[in-house]
Amino acid sequence: MKNREISLPPVPAVLLAIISVQCGAAIAKTLFPTIGAAGTASMRIGISALILLLAYRPNLKAITLQQWKIVIPYGLSLGAMNLIFYIAIEKIPIGLAVTLEFVGPLLLAIAGSKRLVDYCWVMLAAIGILLIAPWTNDRLDPIGIICALLAGAFWSAYIVLGGKISKIMNDGYAVSTGMLFAALLVLPFGFLESGLDNLTPKLFGMGVALALLSSAIPFTLEMKALGKLPPRTFSILMSLEPAAASICAFIFLHENLSFHEILAVVCVVVASAGATLTAKK
């Protein structure tokens, strides 16, 4: 009898990847009181880098100057995105942080467009941001909001650089090498914050789980799904991330959102999905 590989259909695979990432974010936030946001980001990026380097074993000596010029900023943008996002979710609810972060890729997707429909999606996303603004809710930290938006800017840079490096370098080598530079950027902040001084075997085990949930598992699921799904369908599914983040944060961290905040999440999700649906091929 032939062995059959058990694999998820592409749509459930993407949805599971989204849930995995947001569960990872919830786990990360529980570590903040002990090792801090920078310490948690350092542990996640450091362990992820180690796993990827052992898995792909990139030959650093064989990397060309052209590849170095892209893979280094690619890795630095990845590290900055994760560090700043963790600082954001330390100060504001995860669902709102992901919603604000999503604005970066949304603006990137419709950059340069002169079509009225794209301006409509931008306006809808802007309404979502205004609904989250500190003047609607005193419990929201302005620094957290700024960090979430800044993380979105680095996410956009990561997308652009990732597209460039994928054309001139093997995917596995690019990701593992990029993650190495992400770790080199983030680790010093973890030590400066002194959060890593409190590291215990239990916390390290949670760090491994965090690295798997936030990197290894979703990366594998998404890669499998991308081979079977049209890019547009994949992008629409990824637009559900802010909603998934809000639900996971509510279940695991009991983070409740106000009506205005829930409406903001809906605005950004609809704007992101709508921009994908109406985008030119």
pLDDT in tens, 206-232: 889 998 898 878 877 876 776 677 777
| pLDDT per residue as tens digits for the range 30-39 | 999 988 999 9
Query: According to the model, what pLDDT value does residue 100 have?
Result: 92
Annotate 137-186 with DSSP letters as a single string: -TTS-HHHHHHHHHHHHHHHHHHHHHHHHHHHS-HHHHHHHHHHHHHHHH
| pLDDT per residue as tens digits for the range 58-112 | 999 999 999 999 999 999 999 999 999 999 999 999 999 999 998 888 888 777 7
SS3 2: coil
Which residue in this structure is represented by tokens 């609809």?
A: 270
Degrees, nearest 5: CA angle 4-15-12: 35
Task: Describe the crossing of helices 142-168 and 171-192 by its angle, rounded to 10 degrees.
Answer: 150
Query: According to the model, what pLDDT value does residue 137 have?
Result: 57
- Tell me the backbone φ, ψ of residue 201, rounded to 5 degrees: -55, -35
Say if residue 120 is exposed, middle or buried (CB neighbours under 10 Å; 0-12, 13-18, 19+): middle
Instruction: Give the distance, in angstroms, between the CA of residue 185 and the centroid of all CA atoms in the same chain.
Output: 17
- Alpha-carbon distance of 104 to 111, in angstroms, equals 10
Residue 5 has pLDDT above 50, yes or no: no
Q: Residue 161 has which token pair?
A: 């650089």
Query: According to the model, what pLDDT value does residue 46 have?
Result: 92
Instruction: Give the distance, in angstroms, between the CA of residue 275 and the centroid of all CA atoms in the same chain.
Output: 19
Mean of pLDDT over the chain: 86
Residue 184 has pLDDT above 90, yes or no: yes
Query: According to the model, what pLDDT value does residue 77 have?
Result: 95
Considering Cα of 160, then 18, then 212, then 204, what sign does the dihedral take? positive
Q: Yes or no: say if 181 and 72 are a contact pair by the CB < 8 Å rule.
A: yes
Higher pLDDT, 1 or 15: 15
- Alpha-carbon distance of 179 to 165, in angstroms, equals 13
Mean pLDDT within 178-184 = 94
- Alpha-carbon distance of 216 to 62, in angstroms, equals 25
With a pLDDT cut of 70, the percent of the chain lying above it is 92
Query: According to the model, what pLDDT value does residue 216 have?
Result: 77
| pLDDT per residue as tens digits for the range 128-172 | 888 887 655 566 788 999 999 999 999 989 888 988 888 899 878
Nearest to 97 by CA among 37, 160, 39, 144: 144
